[in-house]
Amino acid sequence: MTQVLLAYKSNSAGANDPYTSLLPVGLGYINAVLNSHGYASQMANFSKFSWKETESIISRMRPQVLGIAQFTHNRFESVKLAALAKKINPATFVVFGGPHATHQYREILDRHKQVDAVVLGEGEESFLELVATLKDETPRLAEIKGIAFRTANGIISTTARPPIADLDSVPFPAAYMDNALGVDLHRQLEFIITSRGCPAACLFCSSPLFWGKSLRLRSPRNMVDEITLIRNRCGLIYFSIRDDTFTADKGRVMEFCRLLRKEKVFILWNCQSRVSAVDEELLFAMKRAGCECIQFGVESGSPRILKALGKGINTEQVRKASALVRKAGMNLSIYLITGVKNEVDADTDATIKLVEAIQAHDGQVSPLAYYPGTGIFSKDVKAGVIGREIFNEDRHEALYVRDDAFVGSSTQRLLETVAKVGKGAGYGERDFQSHKKLLGYCHATNIMSGEMYEDEGRWQLAEREYREIAEREPENPWGWLLLGALYGRLGALEKACSKYKRVLTVVPAHAPAFSDLGELMMLMGKTWEGMEYFKRALELNPYDPRAKQALKTR
Ligand code: SF4
């Protein structure tokens, strides 16, 4: 019997989404804390499992405690999962957590008797204490801060739990994930979070209410240690830092970049931030340390819509920050929102103009939606526009604030603009020359420039870019990896093999390089060697698609 199972199941559409199908990062932290305190905790991502398979896995595991991460998009799946667990074993204690559960705990506990408790907000300490008291003959739930549960006298929420002051004290999820079910670690561990809390007050976002308004930061040392651990264990060399505003503390990010370079942790990475939280010095340092893309919440090009969203930025800041990103030579990705009350075509026109001016490389457009814990939701509940029960009554994945024709047409226009601008926004030879002049050598620029040459079929110039990385930084896997891919593409198979082998001397756990070698060996007619490489790739990553395919077809 499993002591604790921490589970997630996306809705059926989300199961095919590259991001929604992943396990929420927060669940990994709770799992790490429980394991480091001696509890047998395991994680399962049921997103790609059928309900039948899910039932059979839970029946086999029979967890004493089941924690379920609930977001708005998977609110119904979470409730169904809880009911399934109770059907299998009524004694399983079912705990919900996550942003939707936190801000709708009363409605959930009232309506869904299969949910025994909800952990409110930051979950590590509350969940740990909850699991501890559940071992007692008479669990003392009321003494645990930061949870909600049913009593004979109704639903109660306990005293709020103070936020964890020292985030470095929380163990790394990657250290305790080897037995996670349905989790492709090589994809999952690409996503890391290095801070919590947000002092801003965007009306569409529930993050400040969930994590708190004060910003808490992991130290640069701790961040680099986590990346190094994942790189060594799983061979990952690309990371996505999912903090709401990664650059909120300039000094911390500068030190993080310094450590990455000093310790030769050669990775590529991306992050999210606010246009008001970057400057030239910082962006240059980030690019030199491998940051190839930054995502900004631009939301709108209309000042009155930005104001209505409570975004706290202006279009001038968007223009300035975007120009600096282009100056540093990173890719610029943006988030846009439309479908705001009273938004009209002229507002969309202003957004289109802004997107064209800043030359974003790509972006996402989302119609404004209600989420519990957001200012927009509470305001409209208070005004009687919607009820708090809306999330139970409406089964749509997202509940949009407007559903009139404007939203569809504005979304479409913005998507078309983002795609069109993105096509022409790529950097050219002159841009790369300028980036090199301003920043000096850095592997991220060479990689981006080499890829541009490859797209144009200018192979020798691409080779020159990658070769420079390999010569300047022999410990940098990116130079060898891209040379291997380039030679493979050009049919120089022996040369390609030798480069992939170099990748493995610096990052021995890099599963894709084993699969690359497997493919090259097969092309050279060395079937046995090829299979051995594929086997090794699969040992390192049981989800490696090429190795799986190659070994399946034998
Ligand atoms: S959108 Fe970003 S900046 Fe705004 S409140 Fe949410 S986390 Fe903070």
Q: Let me know if residue 163 belongs to a domain.
A: no
Pocket test for ligand 1, best of 193, 194, 196, 202 (most atoms within 8 A of CB): 202
Convert the pLDDT of each residue in 106-128 to its tens digit. Answer: 999 999 999 999 999 999 999 99
Do residues 481 and 551 both lie within one domain? no
- The per-residue pLDDT for 340 is 98
Within a 13 Å sphere around the CA of 454, how many CA atoms are in the beta-carbon half?
A: 19
* d(C-alpha 241, C-alpha 244), whole Å: 9
- The per-residue pLDDT for 199 is 87
Do residues 306 and 343 both lie within one domain? yes
Q: 235 lies in which domain range?
A: 190-424
Q: Let me know if residue 58 belongs to a domain.
A: yes
- The per-residue pLDDT for 1 is 58
- The per-residue pLDDT for 348 is 98
Q: What is the DSSP-derived secondary structure letter of residue 143? A: G
Convert the pLDDT of each residue in 181-231 to its tens digit. Answer: 999 999 999 999 999 999 889 999 999 999 999 999 999 999 999 999 999
Do residues 467 and 537 both lie within one domain? no
**Domain count for the chain:** 4
Task: Out of 91-100, 133-142, 286-295, 446-455, pick the least confident.
Answer: 133-142
CATH number, residue 483: 1.25.40.10
Do residues 475 and 395 both lie within one domain? no
- The per-residue pLDDT for 394 is 84
Convert the pLDDT of each residue in 220-245 to its tens digit. Answer: 999 999 999 999 999 999 999 999 99
- The per-residue pLDDT for 2 is 66
Ligand 1 atom nearest to CA at 201: 5
Q: Let me know if residue 129 belongs to a domain.
A: yes
Ligand 1 atom nearest to CA at 274: 3
CB proximity list for 166: less than 8 A, separation 6 or greater: none
Residue 554, pLDDT > 60, answer: no
Which residue, judged by its Cα, is nearest atom 4 of ligand 1?
202
Average pLDDT in the chain: 96
* d(C-alpha 128, C-alpha 126), whole Å: 5
- The per-residue pLDDT for 372 is 97
Do residues 205 and 281 both lie within one domain? yes
- The per-residue pLDDT for 553 is 57
Q: Is 117 helix (H, G, I), strand (E, B) or coil?
A: strand
- Give start and end residues of each alpha helix (H) in 121-219: 124-134, 185-188, 207-211
Residues enclosing ligand 1, CB less than 6 A? 198, 200, 202, 205, 207-208, 244-245, 274, 297
Do residues 207 and 292 both lie within one domain? yes
CB 544 within 8 A of CB 538: yes
In the reported structure, the alpha carbon of residue 522 is separated from the centroid of ligand 1 by a whole-number distance in angstroms of: 49
Do residues 520 and 493 both lie within one domain? no
Secondary structure percentages of the chain, helix, strand, coil, to 5: 55, 15, 35
Convert the pLDDT of each residue in 302-353 to its tens digit. Answer: 999 999 999 999 999 999 999 999 999 999 999 999 999 999 999 999 999 9
Which residue, judged by its Cα, is nearest atom 2 of ligand 1?
244
In the reported structure, the alpha carbon of residue 247 is separated from the centroid of ligand 1 by a whole-number distance in angstroms of: 13
- The per-residue pLDDT for 552 is 86
Pocket test for ligand 1, best of 244, 271, 307 (most atoms within 8 A of CB): 244
Do residues 229 and 263 both lie within one domain? yes
What secondary structure does DSSP assign to 1-64, as a single string?
Answer: --SEEEEE---TTGGGSTTTTSPPHHHHHHHHHHHHTT--EEEEE-TTS-HHHHHHHHHHH--S
pLDDT band at 18 (very low <50, low <70, confident <90, very high): confident
Mean pLDDT of 379-392: 94
In the reported structure, the alpha carbon of residue 218 is separated from the centroid of ligand 1 by a whole-number distance in angstroms of: 18
* d(C-alpha 248, C-alpha 195), whole Å: 9
* d(C-alpha 72, C-alpha 373), whole Å: 11
Do residues 317 and 451 both lie within one domain? no
Do residues 414 and 436 both lie within one domain? no
Q: Let me know if residue 101 belongs to a domain.
A: yes
49 is written with which tokens? 């499992």
Do residues 321 and 418 both lie within one domain? yes
Mean pLDDT of 450-473: 98
- The per-residue pLDDT for 539 is 95
Do residues 298 and 369 both lie within one domain? yes
Residue among 253, 333, 270, 261 nearest 297 (CA): 333
* d(C-alpha 317, C-alpha 141), whole Å: 48
CATH number, residue 116: 3.40.50.280
- The per-residue pLDDT for 395 is 86
